[in-house]
Amino acid sequence: MKTSHALLALQAIAGREIAKFVRQGGRFASALVRPLLWLVVFAAGFQNVFGVSIIPPYDTYIPYQVYIVPGLLGMVLLFNGMQSSLAMVYDREMGMMRLLLTAPLPRWYLLFAKLLAGTLLSVLQAYVFLVIAALFGVDLPWSGWLYALPVLVLSGMMLGALGLLLSVQVRQLENFAGTMNFVIFPMFFLSPALYPLWKLEESGAAAIHVVAQWNPFTHAVEAIRFALYGQFAGTSVAIVGGCLALFFMLAARGYDPQRGMLKKSGKAA
């Protein structure tokens, strides 16, 4: 695989994803409406009621509206990763994936280029949400915006790779919405996106606390939260990176017609 061919393929795939996104204005609006509802409406009832910072020093209290911003950034990445996967299922049904995967380039690279393009859009929307949150008075360190960039990219790619893996398993477009509900909502609510995990343990929900600790989205949110305050959550970043590698490897295998699920479904090129 020549570098020039690889860059040309990445440019073409990213260009197609950006063009689709520009044409679908409702997709951009919906990606921001969900976290804004949580930020403006839901957080209003808890403002200054709870929200203990888990960033040292641990005795620092922050408004609840500030506490949930990292989780809402994760929500933007999560929903966009799932929407990108929905597009994969649609493209497969329409035959576009057949054309893409028959390109004279390794399938894993074509999938990686699509994943990278989707992550780019997710991160851009995450920063738009940060701007809107700042307009609503959410006070976060400006330097954290820069520190958070690599973590947002890594987390977006991990969640996008998970969606890519789901798109292998889901054979029909109408089944994907149900699958998303079984993935998105458990991942989001079983995480520190809305409340610190120690509150689960403190309330006696030990089993849920354990499940939440095994949730990849938990570590994505934790990595983003620490990065926004200029700190590095090494364990969470390592877990997110490991999940990215695992999900992408399984997805690439699934899209291999010789070994994956597509061989069984007859949807491969």
Position of tokens 């020039």? Answer: 4
pLDDT single digits (tens) 210-253:
888 899 999 999 999 999 988 999 999 999 999 999 999 998 88
Q: What is 92-110 written as a DSSP string?
A: HHHTHHHHHHTSSS-HHHH
More confident residue, 29 or 258: 29
- Say what the pLDDT of residue 46 is: 60
Per-residue pLDDT at 258: 61
Alpha-carbon separation of residue 40 from 43, 72, 119, 136 (angstroms): 6, 12, 26, 8
Cβ contacts of 213 within 8 Å, gap of 6 or more: 197
- CB 168 within 8 Å of CB 251: yes
Among 226, 227, 216, 223, smallest CA distance to 237 is for: 223
pLDDT (0 to 100) of residue 51: 46
Largest CA distance in the chain: 58
Report the distance separating Cα 33 and Cα 235, nearest Å.
Answer: 31
Neighbours of 5 (CB within 10 A): 13
Sign of CA dihedral 153, 251, 29, 226: negative
Q: Residue 80 in contact with residue 128, Cβ under 8 Å?
A: no
Please check the confidence at residue 261 and state whether its pLDDT lies above 50.
Answer: no
Mean pLDDT of all residues in 83-108: 68
Q: What is the DSSP letter of 35?
A: H
Number of neighbouring beta carbons within 10 Å of residue 207: 9
Alpha carbon 161 to chain centroid, angstroms: 9
- Which candidate, 40, 41, 30, places its Cα nearest to that of 79? 30
pLDDT value at residue 246:
95
- CB neighbours of residue 203 within 10 Å: 11
Is the previous residue joined to 56 through a cis bond, with omega within 30 degrees of 0? no
Tokens found for residue 100: 């893409």
pTM of the model: 0.82
Q: 204 pLDDT band (50/70/90 cuts)? A: confident
Residue, of 185 and 42, whose pLDDT is higher: 185
* Residue 138 in this model has a pLDDT that exceeds 60: yes
Q: Which residue has the higher pLDDT, 3 or 45?
A: 3
Spatial contact of 38 and 75, defined as CB atoms under 8 Å apart: yes
Residue recorded with tokens 């994936």: 97
Two structure tokens written together for 227: 């990065």
Amino acid residing at 78: L
Dihedrals φ, ψ of 52, to 5°?
-85, 130
Q: Residue 52 carries which DSSP code? A: B
